[in-house]
Amino acid sequence: MPGDSLIYKLDPRGKFLITFYFIGIVFLANNVASYGFLLLFVLFAVYLSKINLGFFLKGLRPMFWLILFTVLLQMFFTPSEHPIWNFGVLTLSKEGMVISAYIFVRFVLIIFVSTLLTLTTTPIEISDSIESILKPLKAIKFPVTQIALMLSIALRFVPLLIDETTKIMDAQRARGVDFGEGGLIKRIKSFVPILIPLFVSSFSIAYDLAIAMESRGYRDGEGRSKYRMLKWEMRDTVAAIVMIVITGILLMIRSY
């Protein structure tokens, strides 16, 4: 559901670029002050979005094992002159603990900003932004509009294909297939009778859609006008300036 907070209203192109830019500058931080500063900024952005912090924590969950693994690796494999504890190749030291804490904060920052982007931007807006950002590639005959249309149709058909999958699974279950039983190999094998009908029906949907599109006058990407319009406003410029200021402050407080 689209919200009405400031972050929702920002131009998706700006949001998209700012998110990637921010992920880039996260790697500039290298001390408590700079990490703390970025963390404060992200929490402020989360506050501005008026989205419950719980949604962001949920975004961390699928990454839990990766984060844990990386943090432990840093903690025990950072070489140090003054180890607190030593066992074979494993070393626990103050430096190691600090670095692993930084890594942890870095993960949180990156996951929070990307969650912020996906929660406040609809998939179609993202596909519009990609089209707009890639537009210069048209000069080298890269089919930007076609790819954007492809992307938006793909997004549009995801729920339909999920429905289709459920239908096929039910039909196979009615014939006695048990999807949740047996070893890994057996379970993977039981998905073959889902995939094949799914392929067949996606081809027939694609054929129907192609006919429908052609009957409505779709030739190729050229000569088309665009209904959806992105509007760059004052607040988007402000957001971009804020990012420059953030970079400046970051460069000042990081240690060299």
Partner 1 sequence: MNNIISIKDITYTYPDAVSHAIDNLSLDINTNEWLSIVGKNGSGKSTLTKLIDGLIEADSGTIEIDGQTINEDNIWDARKKIGIIFQNPDHQFVGATVEDDVAFGLENQGVPRPQMVEKVDAALEMVDMQDYKTRDPQSLSGGQKQRVAIAGVLATRPQIIIMDESTSMLDPKGRKTVLDLIKRLRHDQNMTIISITHDIEETQLSERIVVLDNGRVVKDGLPESIYNLGSELTNFGLEEPFSSQLTQLLRNDLKLPEGFLNEEELMDSIWKLSSKM
Nearest Cα to 126, choosing from 100, 152, 161? 152
Contact call for residue 156 and partner 1 (CB under 8 A): yes
Interface residue with partner 1, options 218, 235, 242, 252 (CB under 8 A) = 218
**Selected range binding partner 1 among 53-61, 70-78, 87-95, 120-128, rule: CB under 8 A:** 120-128
Q: For residues 98 and 95, what is the distance between their CA atoms, to the nearest angstrom?
A: 5
> Which is nearer to partner 1, 160 or 171 (by Cβ)?
160
Tell whether residue 227 is a contact of partner 1 (CB under 8 A): yes
Region binding partner 1 by CB under 8 A among candidate stretches 29-37, 83-91, 221-229, 240-248:
221-229
Of 6, 67, 92, 124, the residue at the interface with partner 1 (CB under 8 A) is: 124
Q: Is 192 exposed, middle or buried (0-12, 13-18, 19+ CB in 10 A)?
A: exposed
Query: Within 13 Å, how many C-alpha atoms sit on residue 138's CB side?
Result: 14
Q: Which two tokens stand for residue 197?
A: 């009908």
Smallest distance, partner 1 to C-beta of residue 125, A: 9
Interface with partner 1: number of residues (CB under 8 A): 28
Structure tokens at 91: 């070393």
Residue range at the interface with partner 1 (CB under 8 A); choices 37-45, 90-98, 117-125, 166-174: 117-125
Helices (H) and strands (E) in the chain, counts: 11, 2
> Residue 239 in contact with residue 245, Cβ under 8 Å?
no
In this chain, which of 152, 168, 194, 250 binds partner 1, going by CB under 8 A?
152
**Length of the chain, please?**
256
Q: Does 170 bind partner 1 (CB under 8 A)?
A: no
Q: What is the CA radius of gyration of the chain?
A: 24
226 binds partner 1, rule: CB under 8 A: yes
CB atoms under 10 Å from CB of 49, counted, come to 20
Q: Which of 20, 208, 233, 238 binds partner 1 (CB under 8 A)?
A: 208
Interface residue list for partner 1 (CB under 8 A):
122-124, 152-153, 155-156, 159-160, 205, 208-209, 211-219, 223-229
